[in-house]
């Protein structure tokens, strides 16, 4: 008999972990959910926590993302490796030893538009090798993914530029409304309201392997800001600059790319879920944040 699922969320207090916990408690209250802030690289502590909680599924939302932004990772490389590679792999291995399914909230920022994947062209598939090494954060995530995907009972969800309805400081929309100037390139984005429920379905279904985990299609910063002006703040104004000009104000390069989500869409359809395309999903997110 399949045991009643018991979820342990790693990364207590983090942005996505908090959203996930709220969603689980609201939508499937019958599932037991625990959280932990234990460091992933501490092998004894991780094993002890798994033995104490006895989860059937771990949802890993822990990782070094950088504060105030990803540039932090360029000057804290050892700490980033400790969390994003050593720690995340240790957690994967410990879950494997204890027979626990683990889902990693990973990133699709391991790609950049190239000749075979130009703007408006085919998106990167799960099977494409990472081609973006412009930020140390992305490099650690790419390395981790290639090793972790060897393990059975491991699911890797590649999020990009997440968007939440609460316009949290870490939400892409909030970030770009605060910048003095923004680039204007289409990108894949993850609208959490639409996709976190799919993550829960995939995790509890003990799916494995890598999934590009974004809303279908791509949306540019200008398209997002035009919707922001229309729905939230009619007085809002912004200026654009080029990627070349942006290089002068950031330390690490930023990934710009579109992911192919046909694998995710096909799986979601098995659950009876149709995932809204990026533009529509962003519009609906802004409307919800306005209470519409």
Ligand X SMILES: NC(=O)c1ccc[n+]([C@@H]2O[C@H](COP(=O)([O-])OP(=O)(O)OC[C@H]3O[C@@H](n4cnc5c(N)ncnc54)[C@H](OP(=O)(O)O)[C@@H]3O)[C@@H](O)[C@H]2O)c1
Give the binding range for ligand X (CB under 6 A) out of 10-18, 126-134, 246-254, 274-282: 10-18
Place of tokens 């540019």: 220
State how far the Cα of 280 lies from the Cα of 292, in Å rounded to an integer. 14
Q: Please, which residue, 160 or 279, has the CB nearer to ligand X? A: 160
Give the binding range for ligand X (CB under 6 A) out of 57-65, 115-123, 227-235, 242-250: 57-65
Of 31, 32, 34, 41, which lies in the binding site for ligand X, with binding defined by CB under 6 A?
41
Distance in Å, CB of 268 to ligand X, minimum? 19
Return the closest-CA partner of residue 182 out of 223, 241, 228. Answer: 241
CA distances from 58 to 26, 46, 163, 186, 286 (A): 19, 11, 23, 33, 31
State how far the Cα of 137 lies from the Cα of 158, in Å rounded to an integer. 14
Q: Is 14 in the site for ligand X (CB under 6 A)?
A: yes
Q: Please, which residue, 56 or 65, has the CB nearer to ligand X? A: 65
Q: Is 64 in the site for ligand X (CB under 6 A)?
A: yes
Which x/- pattern over 67-106 shows residues binding ligand X (rule: CB under 6 A)? ----------------x---x-----------------x-
CA distances from 104 to 55, 72, 207, 211 (A): 15, 22, 12, 10
Of 5, 55, 63, 217, which lies in the binding site for ligand X, with binding defined by CB under 6 A?
63
Tokens of residue 197, six digits:
């429920």
State how far the Cα of 105 lies from the Cα of 158, in Å rounded to an integer. 7
Distance in Å, CB of 41 to ligand X, minimum? 5
SS3 79: helix
Q: Is 159 in the site for ligand X (CB under 6 A)?
A: yes
Interacting residue ranges for ligand X, rule: CB under 6 A: 11, 13-17, 39-41, 61-65, 83, 87, 105, 107, 159-160, 162, 170
């Amino acid at each position: 008999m399949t045991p009643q699922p018991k979820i342990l969320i790693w990364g207590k207090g983090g942005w996505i972990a908090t959203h996930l916990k709220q969603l689980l408690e609201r939508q499937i209250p019958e599932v037991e959910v625990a959280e932990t802030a234990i460091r992933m690289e501490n092998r004894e502590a991780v094993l002890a926590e798994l033995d104490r909680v006895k989860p059937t599924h771990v949802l890993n939302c822990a990782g070094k993302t950088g504060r105030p932004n990803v540039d932090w990772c360029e000057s804290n490389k050892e700490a980033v490796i400790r969390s994003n590679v050593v720690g995340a792999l240790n957690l994967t291995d410990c879950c494997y030893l204890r027979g626990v399914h683990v889902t990693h909230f990973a990133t699709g920022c391991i790609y950049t538009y190239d000749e075979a994947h130009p703007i408006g062209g085919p998106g990167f598939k799960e099977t494409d090798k990472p081609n973006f090494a412009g930020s140390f954060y992305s490099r650690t995530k790419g390395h981790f993914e290639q090793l972790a995907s060897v393990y059975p009972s491991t699911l890797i969800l590649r999020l990009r530029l997440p968007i939440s309805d609460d316009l949290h400081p870490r939400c892409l929309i909030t970030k770009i409304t605060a910048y003095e100037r923004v680039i204007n390139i289409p990108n894949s984005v993850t609208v959490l309201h639409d996709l976190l429920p799919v993550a829960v379905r995939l995790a509890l279904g003990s799916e494995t392997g890598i999934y590009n985990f974004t809303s279908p299609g791509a949306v540019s910063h200008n398209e997002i800001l035009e919707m922001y002006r229309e729905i939230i703040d009619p007085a809002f104004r912004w200026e654009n600059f080029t990627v070349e000009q942006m290089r002068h104000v950031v330390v690490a390069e930023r990934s710009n790319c579109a992911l192919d989500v046909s694998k995710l869409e096909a799986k979601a359809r098995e659950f009876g879920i149709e995932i809204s395309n990026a533009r529509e999903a962003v519009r609906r997110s802004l409307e919800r944040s306005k209470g519409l």
